[in-house]
Amino acid sequence: MNPAAVGFQCPDDVRAGNATVRRPRRTTGLRSAARRWGPVTLSLIALNLLVALATAASAISVGVNPLRSFRSPLQDDFAIVPYLVDVGEWWRVVTSAFTHVGPVHLALNMLALLLFGSELERMLGRGRFLTVYLVSALGGVAALQLFGDYLGAVVGASAAIYGLLGAFGVVLLKQKQDLRGLLTLLVINLAISFLPGVSLLGHLGGLVVGVLAAGVLVLARGRRPVAVGGIAALVVLLLVLVVGGWR
């Protein structure tokens, strides 16, 4: 018998009781981070960082300082160029959504993705959040294909970030929360978009489509066929605009 606080305990009974107690699961640092920030958000950040490292290495290969710019042959192959998309280089529609001008551009976008993306992933769920991100990126491409410089090259990662800001506004509006802070941030960022070398069209395209995609998902919550149909219709419309290149 083992002495206890009150009386004595049988060792066999103690072992039997402990066998029914659930032991806490060991969690790795990666699993803890995914639980806190969201696995989709962290995966998107990792993908953006991988593309940034690849374009930085390509920049070094042609003598460009990667601490200032990611301008390189690989970035030229990944960026959106409306003319080249029209002649068949379709991969640019996808790859441009993960390209950045340089380290400052990358850092600002990844910070916004970490803060707003993790919150949106928690509010919308993983699938809906990823849908908003990708469709917003496509919205930026559509805007550039329609109205951008036909021969100009644009890196389009910011379109998805602006889409997340628009989606966040939709969710806050649905929850009847204060929008003033978010609207102030949007106004500041849109003002910055008028600076030389910044793609206002890509930002606006991502923002508008992010609002539309989030609106469909929020309004159709609990009605999966309606949500899937609405997003599918939006994607088809954007692809038609990209393919058509109506100018």
User: CA Rg, the chain, in Å?
Assistant: 24
User: Are the CB atoms for 172 and 181 separated by under 8 Å?
Assistant: no
Which one of the listed residues 96, 100, 199, 203 is annotated catalytic?
203
Which one of the listed residues 69, 118, 158, 199 is annotated catalytic?
158
Beta strand ranges found along the chain (DSSP E): 2-3, 8-9
CA separation for the pair 214, 92 (Å, rounded): 24
User: Are the CB atoms for 182 and 165 separated by under 8 Å?
Assistant: yes
Rounded to the nearest 10 degrees, the angle between the axes of helix 39-61 and helix 126-147 is: 40
- Which ranges of 62-156 does DSSP label H, i.e. alpha helix? 73-78, 82-86, 91-95, 103-112, 118-124, 126-147
Amino acid in the structure at residue 51 = V
Helices (H) and strands (E) in the chain, counts: 13, 2
158 is catalytic: yes
CA separation for the pair 48, 199 (Å, rounded): 19
CA separation for the pair 238, 81 (Å, rounded): 17
User: Are the CB atoms for 155 and 95 separated by under 8 Å?
Assistant: no
Give the residue numbers marked as catalytic.
158, 203
